């Protein structure tokens, strides 16, 4: 009789191979380079075949006896069952190939990005695959135009804006990359670039002149599917209503914390001037400190200094062990990527590539900016905000979490990485470093609590939008009034939330669940508890739902 674990692992391999062949861009992102020259086939017949195969895999995973598996395999089986169940449901009710014009544009961008930005092979080989993906773009977008039927207008509007970003990216990125490839390959690449760009311009015209007039669908996922996504995929056993109430509670807490910091800062100022100040306004103080930015020529040095300080801090305070292979490079954002990276971003290494170096890109405001635009762009790089951004993106946030996850080596955990854990972890790290006195200036708390207020607003809006209790315009007004975003930025944020249910709430809910997990683990370990042990145990599980981590930690 075949051992249940052997049988399970065989099914995992089969499903892994199926999913990577079905989604070649995801394969490239994960570091599996079998399909680097192709885009997915999203024709109606193929999508139908994919859904049928996923139903068969769902039954295969179900048939494996849970009790006969190891603890790790039990968790992976649970991941597979939940993800497959939701993927099938969503494709049957809201098939993305019919309703998501943005997904076609995103696949093109995502398919090109790693070929240009990651050094996993010789430039000439990556150039060949890049040419193939660009050459496949016209046919791919022609299928998109045929497939799309009655999407929500918010999706079509988002896709229209996304096309321009992709065109700007291609215009800068491909020629910059082409400089390092042989002349013959460069010519082929440029031809493919022109054809792909022309196809994108045509797709943009189709979106505006044709599809937008037919875009009358509803973007809301609906309470039933929203709750299924929470339970089955994220292992969050809170209802949409519970999350809304939690978001409202945390919004009040953030406001209270901001007011307290403003009062404390005002008290310090008043005592120094020996005068009584009027009631402090956290928003005015936030704007004041946002104007304090490094000199443009020193921006990268400031980020490097803060990254080094954060790295040393987590080791000195015995919060984490750093893997020997861990490596992070802090550099200015390459010119070709600036259209898609206006401020800063972290580029993680792929789990299945040998090079495990992460990159932290920092984008300075361009010299061509008007004074007003320069001021607005540089506000992100406020001196007191930089430490929080560094903690979130590097140590002990996304970079350290990604590097630790890369050592897990369990395919399903990469394929089904959970946003509630990943985003929640980065926000938890901000709280952890605040508790550990990493932030030197008391005014830094303005930026920390402002970020928490923003995440609370996201959770409230996410639930409201996708359960139909909040309309688009209402959400924009709420974000502008509560999080103090300007209307244009608020609209862009809400448009993204419409297309990504549960992603906006991931930060707040993930942080809360990790804090609860820490509390439970501390109660179990009592005097033997240490933050180092807790963090290492959590990160060793990989990027999986926090509910699954709780089971692996026997809590």
Q: What percentage of residues in the chain have a pLDDT greater than 90? A: 86
Structure confidence at residue 92 (pLDDT): 92
pLDDT band at 242 (very low <50, low <70, confident <90, very high): very high
pLDDT band at 1 (very low <50, low <70, confident <90, very high): low
Q: Where are the domains of the chain?
A: 4-220, 285-552
Q: What is the pLDDT of residues 408-455, one digit of tens each?
A: 999 999 999 999 999 999 999 999 999 999 998 999 999 999 999 999
- First-to-last CA distance in the chain? 33
Angle at 145 between CA 144 and CA 148, to 5 degrees: 75
Residue with the bigger pLDDT between 398 and 270: it is 398
Query: In 3-state terms, what secondary structure has residue 345?
Result: strand
Q: Which residues does 163 contact at the CB level (< 8 Å), separation at least 6?
A: 105, 200, 201, 203, 204, 207
Q: What element of type H or E holds 329? A: strand 327-332
Q: What is the pLDDT of residues 209-233, one digit of tens each?
A: 999 999 999 999 999 999 999 999 9
Token pair for 483: 């999080």
Token pair for 11: 């099914």
Structure confidence at residue 506 (pLDDT): 97
115 to each of 47, 121, 125, 262, 445, how far by Cα in Å?
Answer: 26, 9, 9, 47, 39
User: Does the structure show a pLDDT above 60 at 274?
Assistant: no
Q: Is the peptide bond before 396 cis (omega within 30 degrees of 0)?
A: yes
- The mean pLDDT value of the chain amounts to 93
pLDDT band at 270 (very low <50, low <70, confident <90, very high): low
Contact 383, 292 (CB under 8 A): yes
What average pLDDT does this structure show over 299-321? 97
Calculated CA dihedral for residues 115, 117, 120, 121, nearest 10 degrees: 60
Structure confidence at residue 2 (pLDDT): 72
118 to each of 101, 121, 245, 357, how far by Cα in Å?
Answer: 27, 8, 42, 10
Q: What is the pLDDT of residues 461-472, one digit of tens each?
A: 999 999 999 999
Contact 391, 430 (CB under 8 A): yes
Q: Are strands 327-332 and 344-347 parallel, antiparallel or unpaired?
A: unpaired
Cα separation of 399 and 392, whole Å?
Answer: 9
Beta pairing partners, 164: none
Cα separation of 135 and 116, whole Å?
Answer: 16
What average pLDDT does this structure show over 464-487? 94
Structure confidence at residue 281 (pLDDT): 87
Token pair for 285: 């103080």
Token pair for 356: 């495990």
pTM score, two decimals? 0.94
Q: What is the pLDDT of residues 2-58, one digit of tens each?
A: 799 999 999 999 999 999 999 999 999 999 999 999 999 999 999 999 999 999 999
Contact 293, 382 (CB under 8 A): yes
Contact 508, 456 (CB under 8 A): yes
What average pLDDT does this structure show over 102-129? 94
Structure confidence at residue 266 (pLDDT): 81
Cα separation of 424 and 429, whole Å?
Answer: 9
Q: How many residues in the chain?
A: 555
Centroid of chain to Cα 331: 20
pLDDT band at 275 (very low <50, low <70, confident <90, very high): very low
């Amino acid at each position: 009789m075949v051992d249940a674990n052997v049988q399970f692992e065989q099914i995992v391999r089969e499903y892994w191979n199926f999913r990577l062949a079905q989604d070649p861009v995801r394969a490239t992102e994960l570091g599996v380079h079998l399909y680097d020259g192709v885009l997915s086939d999203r024709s109606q017949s193929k999508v139908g075949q994919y859904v049928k195969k996923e139903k068969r895999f769902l039954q295969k995973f179900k048939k494996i006896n849970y009790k006969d598996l190891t603890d790790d395999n039990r968790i992976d089986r649970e991941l597979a069952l939940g993800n497959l169940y939701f993927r099938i449901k969503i494709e049957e009710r809201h098939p993305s190939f019919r309703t998501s014009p943005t997904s076609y544009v995103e696949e093109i961008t995502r398919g090109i990005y790693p070929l240009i930005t990651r050094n996993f092979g010789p430039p000439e080989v990556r150039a060949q695959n890049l040419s193939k993906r660009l050459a496949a773009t016209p046919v791919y977008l022609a299928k998109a135009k045929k497939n799309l039927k009655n999407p929500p207008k918010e999706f079509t509007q988002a896709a229209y804006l996304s096309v321009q970003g992709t065109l700007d990216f291609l215009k800068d990125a491909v020629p910059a990359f082409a400089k390092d490839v042989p002349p013959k390959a460069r010519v082929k690449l440029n031809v493919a670039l022109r054809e792909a760009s022309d196809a994108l311009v045509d797709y943009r015209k189709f979106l505006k002149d044709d599809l937008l007039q037919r875009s009358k669908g509803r973007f809301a996922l609906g309470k039933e599917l929203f709750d299924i996504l929470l339970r089955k995929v994220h292992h969050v056993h809170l209802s949409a209503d519970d999350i809304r109430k939690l978001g409202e509670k945390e919004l009040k807490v953030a406001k209270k914390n901001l007011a307290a910091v403003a009062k404390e800062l005002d008290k310090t100022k008043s005592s120094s001037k020996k005068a009584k100040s009027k009631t402090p306004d956290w928003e005015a103080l936030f704007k004041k400190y946002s104007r304090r930015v490094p000199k443009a020529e020193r921006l990268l040095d400031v980020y490097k200094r803060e990254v080094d300080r954060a790295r040393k801090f987590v080791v000195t305070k015995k919060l984490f062990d750093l893997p020997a292979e861990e490596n992070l490079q802090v550099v200015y954002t390459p010119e070709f990527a600036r259209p898609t990276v206006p401020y800063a971003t972290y580029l993680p290494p792929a789990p299945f590539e040998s090079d495990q170096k992460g990159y932290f890109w920092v984008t300075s405001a361009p010299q061509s900016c008007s004074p007003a635009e320069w001021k607005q762009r540089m506000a992100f790089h406020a001196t007191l905000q930089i430490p929080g951004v560094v903690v979130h993106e590097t140590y002990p946030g996304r970079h350290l979490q990604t590097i630790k996850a890369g050592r897990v080596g369990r395919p399903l955990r990469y394929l089904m990485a959970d946003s509630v854990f990943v985003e929640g972890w980065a926000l938890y790290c901000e709280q952890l470093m605040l508790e550990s006195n990493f932030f030197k200036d008391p005014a830094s708390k303005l930026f920390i609590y402002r970020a928490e207020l923003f995440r609370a607003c996201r959770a409230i809006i996410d639930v409201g939008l996708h359960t139909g209790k909040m309309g688009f315009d209402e959400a924009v007004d709420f974000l502008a009034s509560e999080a103090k975003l300007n209307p244009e930025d608020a609209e862009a944020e809400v448009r993204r939330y419409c297309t990504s249910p549960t992603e906006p709430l991931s930060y707040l809910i993930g942080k809360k669940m990790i804090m609860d997990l820490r509390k439970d683990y501390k109660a179990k370990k009592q005097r033997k508890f240490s933050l180092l042990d807790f963090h290492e145990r959590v990160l060793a599980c990989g990027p999986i739902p926090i509910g699954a981590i709780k089971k692996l930690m026997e809590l």
